[in-house]
Each structure stands twice: as structure tokens, then as C-alpha cells.
């Protein structure tokens, strides 16, 4: 995959250089340890009993036959866990989280909310006995009507899933329809008036099917309980501390009695922040006194054992004057939260309006509960759905005004200091710089060559806010003078490599001279999860602070050794120097190791926001008879602040685009009316293969974030945002039909073409 | 713990005896069977591996010009037989749609036929080419047309203790060409939403003397589009004739709607793929302007 990097920073020695991942060898040789690989003495297997109904009341659970089976050492149901009431807010992310959601996600208590919802679990001496025991658990249900989509769930006579839930955004005068989880309204200016006087209006109504993050490694963990009551969990998680607090609350255990050790993560993409198996394995381990491993199957992961990404319906109406200047953005967003209310809508709403300056906004976001698995985050959660609506509407404006789509976007692009949808000014934002790069790039300048089949070129912008929160790291200095970094965040994306670069840069050493490890929740300071494009940037800051702190401590010792005032001491490349006298880190530590440890402390909290911006260009070819789309060329432009390790950044972009193309063209859950997932396999849930994907060209633009060490920006979420819209716009240009249902499968394209052929020809092409 | 007995006979006779046990199942490449057992879709107590029986692995050209393909010979080996590959590139191309190179180095044509999936990619052209199966059982040997083996999804006309020993592809005479096309939303590692195998034979004046069309994934078994075949024989290839045959094949299809595709869409694909396969054969036979 090719890449062009536009700017380099000559003063940096290690940061910004192309470094192979420090863990590459063990990953590709299979030596890296994932939860499924872990063996503990006396370890047994846990297995989960799941609901065969999408919506039902649990009348009784009889576990006696399972418990009596030889080899079964423990059985649990919701009765083995404390009741966690709604509103049990735990410190978590930017706003805290309701532990009631985690509790209900992990195991059903009085009713099941989706097919595959856990109702009980066993631990047995081998997997066959465990599977048999699960079959012996008898659950009697009173089956309730399954609400499988937004229409059914909000119908006036729909069964109400959470009668006790009071959705936000409604009052007595304005009561909520059935099964609404909540509503958020963002308004500015007078959208109705702007629409009434607009020169041109584009309206696009999109549907996005539920999709899965598609991580290779399913949910998995090992739990072990000591006689003292102390519990250790080896987890596949995005956040060890987040797994710890959820599990502690769900078990009713003090956090100090629980340690979470993050192992290698085989993909997560937002789906491994909420716990699914950890509290169950821990309770089973506590009950039988043996370590318990749970590894879910692919089918379990797809069908109820994990949280996929939210389906959405968006009605997007945008207005412009005759020059293409946007005058109104009017969006109505309905997210399908799955079985538990609480899916945030605001990030999606912001992503659908933020790229452009527009005086009049009306963004109206709803979330609805249905009997599907509770949805969780997926890479810039809501961003791809938002852009699929906004950016196709922008393309319609360009078509109606016969304007170049890049020029239209450039005229309206948000700039540093212009207003965010939520009313605060944007920090440095690079859409204009990105537009300039596109205009000069062959992927836009070169005309698209005609082919045997219809071809089209698409463009879409993408925005993602990202987040900062808090990250902690500490560095000690080994007896040989080498810095040893321990970080509080999980490495799901090459973080160890990037942090090794940061530490090496700070100490003036090579990457091979520093060591970076992931800590566990009892060996390192609290850090938020690897999510929201935050870890690289905030951990780089923490590591940088920790290294500076350690260097200050070392400097004092070196000055004493060299008998010079601190002000005369210089440091470079692992050597302290005062005039002609020098001492290396190695010699300094040899001489002073027993005088006390050097411990450098680094904590970064609420760093300035580094918004993520991107624009993608692609060429497609469409076979109108079969509906097959071939992506001929794909170029992703992105402001990355500063690429700590360019291949890692390109990997994030390539991975995002691959996932985006999958969702754009073939990935979507197909639920039957009774709640059964009809495509719960890698065969029928069609993630793209290498043959389905083009070469993904990356153009990295570096606009450092002010007041952030190294100016690092989040890079890992925005590259999925524009993908489906970019492909959709290219398809529209190829075949003249606007595809509004994602995934845009071959069959949907064929049917849309058929429908268009029987429609009266519109006045304007 | 579920017990599984595994045996590896070296003669057809021993295999037939072993297969007489209850819940016994033969294994060739295992690329269908092992997946089905792991997903609890098939109960198996005895697995009888056929790969050590020489006759089931032999690939031989017969005196009359036909080919005898051992039922357990892998697609990979078949492709490495240069003479077979030169003569039957269309059949080989259809078999090479199966999975990936790794899968093809295990998967056999016999397994593709006996697994009896309506989507089996190598079966339509075997049927079009008039291939027959040599079957051995407790009562001795018999042969039957390949088209008679599958009776429904996963069900075959072979008796419980019968095995397919070989597939015999008869000698092809005259000017002929064949082509199998399938449609999958993903370019590999996918299952046909519809597939069409076509075989055409022409005389020196380019009149059609033989035509065969077999459809995949649009009926409980591979389906012979008999009316479309009849339309073609005795005629000369033209865009109009090809369109008529394609429409006929689409009308003859009996697809269901499921998560992989609607019946309506599958019918359209049959028409498109039939036309394209006929055009490809015409091109190969040097007939242009179709
Ligand atoms: C990843 C993957 C991708 C695949 N892609 C495709 C594809 O694109 N197209 C396609 O058509 N198939 C595909 N398959 C299915 C499979 O590979 C083929 O059907 C293959 O031809 C089966 O051959 P085998 O030798 O592995 O059969 P096996 O699995 O050994 O046997 C299949 C069945 O036939 C029976 N059987 C086998 N040999 C005999 C015999 N001689 N006599 C009697 N019964 C017998 C077995 O008992 C079993 O029930 C795929 C499979 C996998 C795992």
C-alpha cells in the first residue's frame, strides 16, 4: 500500500520514523499470548446458556440436572450476582456510565432482551461436559412479541420493553412514543426559514443495517479466585480499568480485590469496552475455586454474545443558496440501540454537520430500544452512518447546482475558529488544506478512464471529534541505564511501538534501548480505555512527562557525580556532560542504583482536543446486471497531527477503509421477524476478502495540535467515517441511482436500478 | 466427550465393509464433512478416510478419450495433470472456484458431488459434460449419471453403504466448448447465489448439435434447464437465440428467497449468467457478433 507523507520534522530523531512494530515477531510467529492461549493450573471451561427467544419473561430456571452432571463444578444464574439498580453511575470515560447496563448485558435477570442473551453459565472439567450441562439447564419462558426494528418498536401498540425508563428529551406535554430510549436536540438559527428561502434543497433518507466490528478474536477471558478472595482476570479488553470497575460492581467486590491483566487483543474496534464474559467467569471461579476460561464461539459472538454497531435511519435535508453556500442542515436521526437504552446520539449528530459552516442547524437525535443485542461502539461510533447521509446530500447539491463536488465542499468547509455544531469554536482544523491536496492529486486531477462497464468517481469528507480523558505511565531506569516504561493503557493498535519511539526520543536513545510494557490494574496508574482515538496522543503525552520527570531525577544525580551545578549539565544521546567530564546512563545507574529507584511519573488529563478530519476519493465500476461494485482506486487524505509511526497510521487508515468498504457493500445483520440472526457466520456475514479491496493510498497531512506533546492528533476513527458515502457517491455517478440503504449489496443495486427504470425520467439528470 | 473412530482402508471392498456400521461416513478432503461435524450439523461415529485407496486417487485418460477421475482425487492434483487441464479447462476452472488453494489441495470432485449442495460449483459442468459416477456397494458396482446423485440439499441417491469410486467424463467430440459462471457478492470464500454451467457442440456449419445448461443454487439440487437446451439444438447462435435461452433458463429456475438472495434476484442472475456463459462458449468456438 502506498503512502505519501507531506511534512517531516527534521529535529525529531525517532518520532515520525517508520519503525516496525516491536511486537511484530511474536504476533506473526504465533507466540503472542491471547486469552484462548492462556493455561492456568487446574483451569476448567466455562460455557454460557443463551436465550432462544428475542423477548421473553424468565419464569424459572432449573439448573439441578446440570449441576448433577459429573464434571460440572459450578453453575451460575443472575441470582448469583447482586442486583445493580438503574442509575448506578460508575466513573467511566467522559461522562460516567450506568453499571446497570453492564449488568443487564452480562446476564439476564427476569427477562431476556435479545436472542442469545445470557441466562446462565456452567464451569466444567472439559468443553464437552460444559456444552452438555448447558443443554441440561431448563429455562421456562413466557414469550413476548419481538420488536425487531424501529417501526415495530415505536408502533402505538408495541409492547413496552422498559416501562420504568423515563426517556430524556420529553415531558407531559410532549410524551415519548413507545420504546424511545432518549432524544437530543441541537438547534442553531432558524432552519425552517432557511429551508423556505433556499435556492436548492437536497434530501436523502438513509437506512443503515446493524453491523459487527468483526474482530478476529471473540470475547474471551480467564478468571482465578484466591482463597483470600482476591480475583485475577486475564482479559481481551480495550480498557483494563474499565473491565475492572464493571466487574467489581457486578460481583459486589471492592475494586482493590480485583486485578485485570490485559493480554494481547485480537481486534476490538469499540466492541471490547463493555464486559461480556469477565463477571461470569469470575463468579464461576469463585464458586468452584478453580481458574475458569471462557472463549465464545464465532456464532455466539455474532448472535447475542457481543454488542454490534447501531442500525440507523437518517432523514437529512440540506439547503444552499445559488452559489452553493449552505444555509441549513436539518437532520433527523433514529438509532437502533438494541436491547438496552443508552446509545449516545450526539457524536453522530455532530459528525453529520461539523464539516461545514452553516448558520442554521436542526439536529434531532432519537434512540430506540429493540430486541436485538445491545449495540456498542464501532470505530467512530455513528460517524459512517452520519456521513452516509450528509455527504450523499452534499453530492445531490453539487449535482443540482452543477458544481464541482470538491469546490462545493471547499466553499463551505469548517475552518479554525468557525463554530462547531455545539457552539464552541473549532481548534485547528484542516479541511481546507485537505481540499488543496486533493485538488493537486492525480486521483482527482486525472480524468476517470472509460471502461466496459459504467464508472464513477466519488468524494466524501469525514469528521470525528475524538476525546482525551486520562492516561498514566511511569518509567523506571534499569541497572544498565535503559528506560523501562509501563503504561496504563491497553495496546490495541501498536501503542507499545509508538511509546517506545516517544521514550527513545525523550532520552535520545534508539527504540531498541527502551522497553514498553502494558501494566495491569494493580501495577500502573488509572488510564481510560483505548477508545475514541485517544491512546496514542494522550499516552504519548504521559510517556513524555514521565521521561522528563525521570530525566530530572537523573540529572540531579549526574550533577552530583560530575560535581557541577545543574545549569552546567548537558544531556544528549544517553550521556550527561559537564565541560569535558561525562557520565553515561549506564555508568550513572551502576554507580547509583542502590541510592534509590528512579521513577518518572506521567499523567495526562483532558489534553486539548485534536479533531480528526479526512476526505476520501474513490473510483468504482458497477456491473448493472449483477449489481457488483468493483473499487478501482481509493485514496484517503487525512490530517494526522503528527504521525508518530507512519506505517502504524497508514495501517489504521487501511483497516478503517477496509471495514468501511465491508459495511458499505456487503456487511449487515439480517434478522428474522422472530429475532433469529440469519447470517451468524463468516460465510454469510460477508466481510471483504483481499480480493474485494483495492490498494488503499494514504496521504498523511500533518497539522500538529497546539499545546499537545508532539502535536499528535487522533487518527484511528475518522478514516472509517467517509467510506460508505464516498463509495455511494461514486456509485451514483456511475449508474445515476442514489443508493440509500447500507450495505449497498449487489441485490439492492439491481433492485434500485430496476425501480429507477420504471420511474418517470426526472426533469434534470 | 464425543468419540470418533477413524479408519483408513486401502481397498474399496474394505471401505464398503467399514461403511456398513451405523453413523459411518466417508471422508475425502473433509472440507465439507469436518465443518459439518464441528458445527453439529452431522452426527458421525465412524470416519472412513478414502485417500489411501489407489483407485479413488487415480486420474486416467481412457482408451476412448474419456477421463476417469478417482472420487477422492483433490482438485489441486487434477489441475496439475497437464493433459486434463488442457482438455477440460472449463471444468477445472469451475472446480477452482472452490474455496482457496489450501481448500483445493484437499477438496475432491467426489466430495463436491456427494455432499449434494445445490451450490456445488464443480457439479453443473460435470452434468453438462454427461459425466457418470461409478458406485461400489455391498451388492457390487453400478454406474449412474452424476445428475441422479443429488436428491435434495445434503441428500444423495447413494445407499447408506455405497461409495462413489470414480467420475467418468465421456470423450467429447466435434467442436465443443463449456463454461461455468457463478455470482457471489464477495469475490472468494463465498457461496454461489446462482451459478450456470453451459456446454455447446457445433457442426462444421456452426449449427448447434448439442447443448446442455445446468443451474446451481436455484433449486434443491443442480437443475438441468431442459427447455433452454431444446431451444438451442438445431439452431445457430445469435443474440436473439442466446437471449431466448437465457430467459428460458431463468423461467426454469426454482429459486427460494433467503439471506443470500431473493428468488427474483436469483432469476435475474440466471438469465445474465446464462447469456454470458453462452457468449463465452461462442467466443471460444470462434463465433463472433453474439
Ligand atoms: C472455506 C471453504 C470454502 C469452500 N468454497 C466452496 C466453493 O466455493 N464452492 C463449492 O462448491 N464448495 C466449496 N466448499 C465446499 C467443499 O470444499 C467442496 O464441496 C468440496 O468439493 C468437498 O470435497 P471433500 O473431498 O472435501 O469432501 P468431504 O468433506 O470429504 O465429503 C463431503 C461429503 O461427501 C461424502 N463423500 C465424500 N466422498 C465420497 C465418496 N467417494 N463416496 C460417497 N460419499 C462421499 C462425505 O461423506 C461427506 O458427506 C468450501 C469449503 C470450505 C471449507
Closest to A669 measured CA to CA, from A751, A750, A745? A745
Same domain, B245 and B136: no
> What pLDDT is stored for residue A609 in this prediction?
87
- For chain B, the first-to-last Cα distance in angstroms comes to 61
Domain extent, residue B165, equals: 5-169
A276 three-class SS: coil
Partners of residue A221 on adjacent β-strands: A235, A294
Q: How many residues in total does chain B contain?
A: 290
Is the Cβ–Cβ distance between B197 and B127 less than 8 Å? yes
Closest to A600 measured CA to CA, from A526, A542, A641? A542
DSSP class per residue in B2-25: ---EEE--SSHHHHHHHHTSTTEE
| Cis, peptide link before residue A743, omega less than 30° from 0 | yes
Sheet of A220-225, strands arranged across: A72-77, A118-124, A44-50, A292-295, A220-225, A231-235, A258-262
Q: Is A750's Cβ below 8 Å from some Cβ in B?
A: yes
Same domain, B144 and B208: no
pLDDT in tens, A649-707: 999 999 999 999 999 999 999 999 999 999 999 999 999 999 999 999 999 999 999 99
Q: Which of B169, B192, B222 is the last residue of a domain?
A: B169
Cell triple for A240: 483494563
Is the Cβ–Cβ distance between A641 and A12 less than 8 Å? no
> What pLDDT is stored for residue B290 in this prediction?
65
Chain A residues near residue B262 by CB distance under 8 angstroms: 747
Same domain, B37 and B76: yes
Count other C-beta atoms under 10 Å from residue A750's C-beta. 23
Q: How many residues in total does chain A contain?
A: 765
CATH code, residues A468-605: 3.30.365.10
Residues of A serving a catalytic function are 717
Provide the CATH number for the domain around residue B116.
3.30.465.10
Count other C-beta atoms under 10 Å from residue A28's C-beta. 10
The half-sphere exposure of A168 on its side-chain side, counting CA atoms within 13 A, is: 13
- Cα(A688) to centroid(ligand 1), Å: 23
DSSP class per residue in A498-540: HHHHHHHHHHT--GGG-EEEE--TTTS-----S-TT-HHHHHH
Closest to A392 measured CA to CA, from A754, A727, A23? A727
A 682-721 near B (Cβ less than 8 A):
683-684, 686, 688-689, 691-692
Task: Using pLDDT thresholds of 50, 70 and 90, give the confidence band for residue B4.
Answer: confident
What is the SS3 assignment for A375-397? CCCCCCCCHHHHHHHHHHHHHHH
pLDDT in tens, A466-483: 899 999 999 999 999 999
Tell the residue number behind the cell numbers 466444567, with chain if given. A124
DSSP one-letter code for A329: E
**Domain annotation covers residue B290:** no
A621-660 b/e (C-beta count within 10 Å ≥ 16 → b): bbbbbbbbbebbbbbbbbbbbbbbbbbbbbbbbbbbbbbb
Same domain, B65 and B184: no
**Domain annotation covers residue B289:** no
Tell me the C-alpha distance between A558 and A566, whole Å. 9
Apex A24 CA angle, A23 and A26, nearest 5 = 70
Chain B residues near residue A678 by CB distance under 8 angstroms: 258-259
Chain A residues near residue B188 by CB distance under 8 angstroms: 689, 691
pLDDT in tens, B100-128: 999 999 999 999 999 999 999 999 999 99
Q: Which of B147, B169, B191 is the last residue of a domain?
A: B169
Same domain, B93 and B183: no
Give the Å distances, CA to CA, from B104 to B76, B80, B112, B127: 5, 12, 11, 20
B197 three-class SS: strand
Decide: residue B42, CB within 10 A, 0-12 exposed, 13-18 middle, 19+ buried. middle
User: For the ranges A284-288, A545-549, B22-26, which has the lowest average pLDDT?
Assistant: B22-26
What is the SS3 assignment for A724-755? HHHHHHHHHHHHCCCCCEECCCHHHHHHHHHH
Cell triple for A514: 527502551
Is the Cβ–Cβ distance between A298 and A267 less than 8 Å? no
Arithmetic mean of pLDDT over chain A = 96
Report the residue among B103, B111, B168 best suited for mutation to probe ligand 1: largest number of ligand atoms under 8 A from its CB.
Answer: B111
Is the Cβ–Cβ distance between A337 and A162 less than 8 Å? no
pLDDT in tens, B246-262: 999 999 999 999 999 99
Chain A residues near residue B194 by CB distance under 8 angstroms: none
Task: Using pLDDT thresholds of 50, 70 and 90, give the confidence band for residue A179.
Answer: very high
Tell the residue number behind the cell numbers 456449419, with chain if given. B205
- Cα(A671) to centroid(ligand 1), Å: 29
Q: Is A757's Cβ below 8 Å from some Cβ in B?
A: no
Tell the residue number behind the cell numbers 492461549, with chain if given. A37
Contacts of B272 by beta carbon, 8 Å cutoff, 6+ apart: A625, A626, B183, B246
Report the residue among B19, B21, B28, B94 best suited for mutation to probe ligand 1: largest number of ligand atoms under 8 A from its CB.
Answer: B28
Provide the CATH number for the domain around residue B278.
3.30.390.50
B36 three-class SS: helix
Tell me the C-alpha distance between A402 and B195, whole Å. 42
Task: Using pLDDT thresholds of 50, 70 and 90, give the confidence band for residue A11.
Answer: confident
Same domain, B158 and B78: yes
Q: Is A549's Cβ below 8 Å from some Cβ in B?
A: no
Q: Which of B115, B150, B169 is the last residue of a domain?
A: B169
ipTM: 0.96
DSSP one-letter code for A173: T
Structurally, how many domains does chain B consist of?
2
Cell triple for A147: 420488536
pLDDT in tens, A257-273: 999 999 999 999 999 99
Same domain, B55 and B149: yes
A223 three-class SS: strand
Q: What percent of chain A has pLDDT over 70?
A: 98
B6, pLDDT greater than 50? yes
In short, whether B130's Cβ falls inside 6 Å of ligand 1 is no
pLDDT in tens, A319-334: 999 999 999 999 999 9
Is the Cβ–Cβ distance between A215 and A269 less than 8 Å? yes
Helices (H) and strands (E) in chain B, counts: 12, 14
Cell triple for A348: 453522530
Which helix or strand (DSSP H or E) is residue B142 part of? strand B140-145
pLDDT in tens, B205-247: 999 999 999 999 999 999 999 999 999 999 999 999 999 999 9
Same domain, B162 and B119: yes
Do strands A629-639 and A696-701 pair parallel, antiparallel, or not at all (unpaired)? Answer: parallel
Contact B185 A666 (CB under 8 A): yes
Same domain, B123 and B179: no
Tell me the C-alpha distance between B214 and B226, whole Å. 9
Amino acid at each position: 500500500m502506498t503512502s505519501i507523507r507531506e511534512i517531516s520534522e527534521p529535529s525529531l530523531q525517532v518520532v515520525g520514523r517508520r519503525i516496525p512494530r516491536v511486537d511484530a515477531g511474536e504476533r506473526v510467529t504465533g507466540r503472542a499470548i491471547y486469552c484462548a492461549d492462556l493455561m492456568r493450573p487446574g483451569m476448567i471451561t466455562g460455557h454460557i446458556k443463551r436465550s432462544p427467544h428475542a423477548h421473553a419473561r424468565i419464569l424459572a430456571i432449573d439448573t439441578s440436572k446440570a449441576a448433577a452432571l459429573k464434571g460440572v463444578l459450578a453453575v451460575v444464574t443472575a441470582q448469583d450476582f447482586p442486583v445493580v439498580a438503574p442509575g448506578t453511575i460508575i466513573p467511566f470515560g467522559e461522562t460516567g456510565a450506568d453499571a446497570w447496563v453492564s449488568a443487564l448485558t452480562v446476564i439476564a435477570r427476569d427477562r431476556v432482551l435479545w436472542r442469545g442473551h445470557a441466562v446462565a453459565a456452567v464451569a466444567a472439567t472439559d468443553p464437552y461436559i460444559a456444552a452438555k450441562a448447558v443443554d441440561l439447564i431448563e429455562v421456562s419462558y413466557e414469550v413476548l412479541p419481538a420488536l425487531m426494528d424501529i417501526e415495530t418498536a415505536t408502533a402505538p401498540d408495541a409492547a413496552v420493553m422498559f416501562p420504568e425508563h423515563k426517556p430524556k428529551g420529553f415531558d407531559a406535554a410532549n410524551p415519548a412514543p413507545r420504546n424511545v430510549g432518549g432524544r437530543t436536540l441541537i438547534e442553531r438559527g432558524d432552519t425552517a426559514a432557511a429551508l423556505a428561502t433556499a435556492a436548492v434543497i437536497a434530501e436523502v433518507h438513509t437506512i443503515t443495517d446493524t453491523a459487527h466490528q468483526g474482530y478476529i478474536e471473540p470475547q474471551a477471558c480467564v478468571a482465578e479466585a484466591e482463597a483470600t478472595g482476591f480475583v485475577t482476570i486475564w482479559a481481551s479488553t480495550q480498557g483494563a480499568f474499565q473491565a475492572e470497575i464493571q466487574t467489581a460492581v457486578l460481583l459486589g467486590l471492592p475494586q482493590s480485590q480485583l486485578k485485570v491483566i490485559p493480554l494481547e487483543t485480537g481486534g476490538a474496534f469499540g466492541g471490547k469496552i463493555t464486559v461480556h464474559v469477565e463477571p461470569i467467569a469470575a463468579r464461576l471461579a469463585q464458586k468452584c475455586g478453580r481458574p475458569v476460561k471462557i472463549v465464545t464461539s464465532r456464532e455466539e459472538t455474532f448472535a447475542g454474545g457481543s454488542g454490534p454497531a447501531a442500525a440507523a435511519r437518517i432523514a437529512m435535508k440540506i439547503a444552499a443558496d445559488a452559489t452553493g453556500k449552505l444555509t441549513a442542515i436539518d437532520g433527523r436521526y433514529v438509532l437502533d440501540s438494541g436491547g438496552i437504552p443508552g446509545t449516545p446520539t450526539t457524536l453522530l449528530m455532530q459528525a453529520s454537520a461539523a464539516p461545514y459552516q452553516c448558520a442554521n442547524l436542526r439536529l434531532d437525535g432519537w434512540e430506540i430500544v429493540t430486541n436485538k443485542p445491545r449495540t456498542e461502539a464501532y470505530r467512530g461510533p455513528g460517524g459512517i452512518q452520519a456521513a452516509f447521509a450528509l455527504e450523499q446530500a452534499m453530492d445531490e447539491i453539487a449535482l443540482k447546482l452543477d458544481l464541482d463536488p470538491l469546490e462545493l465542499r471547499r466553499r463551505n468547509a469548517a475552518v479554525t475558529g468557525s463554530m462547531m455544531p455545539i457552539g464552541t469554536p473549532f481548534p485547528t482544523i484542516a479541511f481546507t488544506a485537505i481540499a488543496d491536496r486533493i485538488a493537486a492529486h492525480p486521483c482527482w486531477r486525472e480524468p476517470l478512464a472509460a471502461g466496459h462497464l459504467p464508472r464513477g468517481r466519488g468524494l466524501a469528507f469525514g469528521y470525528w471529534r475524538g476525546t482525551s480523558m486520562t492516561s498514566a505511565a511511569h518509567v523506571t531506569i534499569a541497572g544498565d541505564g535503559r528506560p523501562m516504561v509501563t503504561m496504563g493503557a491497553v495496546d490495541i493498535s501498536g501503542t507499545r511501538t509508538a511509546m517506545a519511539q516517544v521514550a527513545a526520543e525523550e532520552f535520545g536513545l534508539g527504540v531498541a534501548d527502551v522497553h514498553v510494557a502494558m501494566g495491569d490494574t494493580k501495577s500502573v496508574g488509572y488510564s481510560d480505555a483505548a477508545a475514541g482515538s485517544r491512546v496514542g496522543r494522550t499516552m504519548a503525552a504521559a510517556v513524555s512527562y514521565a521521561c522528563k520527570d525521570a530525566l530530572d531525577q537523573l540529572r540531579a544525580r549526574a550533577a552530583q557525580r560530575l560535581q557541577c551545578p545543574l545549569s552546567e549539565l548537558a544531556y544528549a544521546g544517553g550521556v550527561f556532560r559537564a565541560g569535558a567530564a561525562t557520565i553515561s546512563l549506564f555508568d550513572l545507574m551502576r554507580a547509583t542504583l542502590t541510592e534509590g529507584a528512579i521513577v518518572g511519573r506521567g499523567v495526562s488529563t483532558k489534553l486539548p482536543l485534536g479533531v480528526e478530519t479526512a476526505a476520501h476519493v474513490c473510483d468504482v465500476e458497477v456491473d448493472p446486471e449483477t449489481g457488483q461494485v468493483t473499487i478501482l482506486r481509493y485514496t484517503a487524505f487525512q490530517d494526522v497531527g503528527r504521525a508518530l509511526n507512519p506505517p502504524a497510521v497508514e495501517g489504521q487508515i487501511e483497516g478503517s477503509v477496509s471495514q468501511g468498504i465491508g459495511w458499505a457493500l456487503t456487511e449487515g445483520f439480517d434478522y428474522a421477524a422472530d429475532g433469529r440472526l440469519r447470517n451468524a457466520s463468516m460465510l454469510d456475514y460477508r466481510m471483504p476478502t483481499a480480493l474485494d479491496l483495492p490498494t488503499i493510498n494514504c496521504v498523511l497531512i500533518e497539522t500538529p495540535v497546539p499545546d499537545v506533546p508532539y502535536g499528535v492528533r487522533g487518527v484511528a476513527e475518522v478514516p472509517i467515517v467517509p467510506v460508505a458515502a464516498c463509495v455511494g457517491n461514486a456509485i451514483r455517478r456511475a449508474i445515476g441511482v442514489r443508493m440509500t440503504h447500507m450495505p449497498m449489496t449487489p441485490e439492492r443495486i439491481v433492485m434500485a436500478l430496476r425501480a429507477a427504470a420504471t420511474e418517470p425520467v426526472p426533469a434534470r439528470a | 466427550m464425543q468419540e470418533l473412530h477413524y479408519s483408513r482402508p486401502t481397498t474399496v471392498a474394505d471401505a464398503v465393509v467399514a461403511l456398513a456400521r451405523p453413523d459411518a461416513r466417508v471422508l475425502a478432503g473433509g472440507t465439507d464433512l469436518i465443518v459439518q461435524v464441528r458445527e453439529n450439523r452431522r452426527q458421525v461415529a465412524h470416519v472412513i478416510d478414502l485417500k489411501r485407496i489407489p483407485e479413488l486417487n487415480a486420474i486416467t485418460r481412457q482408451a476412448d478419450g474419456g477421463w476417469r477421475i478417482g472420487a477422492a482425487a483433490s482438485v489441486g492434483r487434477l489441475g496439475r495433470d497437464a493433459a486434463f487441464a488442457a482438455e477440460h479447462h472449463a471444468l477445472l476452472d469451475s472446480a477452482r472456484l472452490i474455496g482457496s488453494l489450501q481448500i483445493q489441495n484437499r477438496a475432491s470432485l467426489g466430495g463436491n458431488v456427494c455432499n449434494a449442495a445445490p451450490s456445488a460449483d464443480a457439479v453443473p459442468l460435470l452434468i453438462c459434460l454427461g459425466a457418470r459416477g461409478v458406485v461400489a456397494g455391498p451388492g457390487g458396482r453400478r454406474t449412474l449419471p452424476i445428475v441422479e446423485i443429488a436428491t435434495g440439499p445434503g441428500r444423495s441417491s447413494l445407499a447408506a453403504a455405497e461409495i462413489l469410486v470414480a467420475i467418468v467424463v465421456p470423450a467429447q467430440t466435434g467442436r465443443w466448448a463449456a463454461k461455468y459462471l457463478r455470482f457471489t457478492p464477495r469475490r472468494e470464500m463465498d457461496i454461489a447465489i446462482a451459478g450456470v454451467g453451459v456446454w455447446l457442440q457445433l457442426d462444421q456449419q456452426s449449427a448447434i448439435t448439442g447443448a446442455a445448461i445446468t443451474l446451481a443454487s436455484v433449486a434443491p439440487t443442480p437443475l438441468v434447464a431442459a427447455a433452454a437446451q431444446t431451444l438451442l439444438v438445431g439452431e445457430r447462435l445469435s443474440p436473439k437465440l442466446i437471449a431466448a435461452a437465457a430467459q428460458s433458463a431463468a423461467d426454469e429456475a426454482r429459486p427460494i428467497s433467503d439471506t443470500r438472495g431473493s428468488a427474483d434476484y436469483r432469476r435475474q442472475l440466471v438469465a445474465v449468467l446464462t447469456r454470458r456463459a453462452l457468449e463465452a462458449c461462442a467466443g471460444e468456438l470462434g463465433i463472433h457478433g453474439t
